[in-house]
Amino acid sequence: MFGRHHHHRRGHWAAHGGEHHGRHPFGFHGEHGGPRGRGGRMGRFFDHGDLRFVVLKLIADKPSHGYELIKAIETAAGGAYTPSPGVVYPTLTLLEELGYVTAGDAGGGKKLYTITPEGQEFLAGNAQPVRSLFERMAEAASASAAFSPQILRARENLKTALRLKLHGGQLTPEQISAVAKALDDAAGVIESI
């Protein structure tokens, strides 16, 4: 991604402020990785250049090293996407070369990345696209939770248990009350989470 043609891309990125011409600029389709992990089956998670905005914004919020950024992106996307080190570290190198971040020694062979005034200015100039990206990651997080294997399994278990109980014969008034209470209690617990 940042190989032989790196300097051309860097110049294009800097000259155009990260704009993407001829396609939707902020769909989840470009940088490696997709829903449910790296190189996902449902297409790519970020469009070309989007990850730079996300990484820069996270560094602006809190100086971080690469692993922290990987985990922060995974958390922001609700586990629907985890960027690989092979995508994050070249992005950090590019941001450093552009003068948007600086890297200091964080100990243990790690670099701590901090945003520069130029990086802050670049973020401010792209506030709307950055906000849109984080909103989309929040939407992906919501969708990911809805299709969580644990939640789907638990929901099916509840439906099966209820169906078996309701079709298994005549229920006493006490059993009906107990089932209704269990369902109400479960709903209350879920609402309070």
Would the pLDDT of 27 be above 50? no
DSSP string of 17-78, one letter each residue: TT---SS-TTSSBSSS-BTTBTT-TT--SB-TTHHHHHHHHHHHHS-B-HHHHHHHHHHHTT
pLDDT in tens, 36-91: 333 332 335 777 788 999 999 999 999 999 999 999 998 888 777 888 899 999 99
Give the other-Cβ count within 10 Å of 111's Cβ.
18
Place of tokens 């506030």: 127
State the pLDDT at residue 60. 96
State the pLDDT at residue 149. 63
State the pLDDT at residue 144. 64
- The H or E element that residue 136 is part of is helix 127-146
Q: Which of 23, 78, 27 is nearest to 50 (CA)?
A: 27
Per-residue tokens: 94: 């590019």
Cα distances from 71 to residues 79, 88, 101, in angstroms, run: 9, 11, 19
- How confident is the model over 90-96, as a mean pLDDT? 95
Are 175 and 181 in contact, with CB atoms under 8 Å apart?
no
Would the pLDDT of 169 be above 90? no
State the pLDDT at residue 155. 80
Are 81 and 35 in contact, with CB atoms under 8 Å apart?
yes
Centroid of chain to Cα 192: 24
DSSP 8-state secondary structure symbol assigned to residue 81: -
State the pLDDT at residue 103. 94
DSSP 8-state secondary structure symbol assigned to residue 11: H
Query: Average model confidence (pLDDT) for the chain?
Result: 76
Are 92 and 64 in contact, with CB atoms under 8 Å apart?
no
pLDDT in tens, 121-143: 999 999 999 998 888 888 877 77
Give percent of the chain with pLDDT exceeding 90: 38
Would the pLDDT of 22 be above 70? no
- How confident is the model over 154-176, as a mean pLDDT? 87
The CATH code that applies to domain 6-147 is 1.10.10.10
Residue spans per domain, the chain: 6-147, 150-192
Model confidence pTM above 0.85: no
CA angle 57, 58, 62 (to 5 degrees): 120
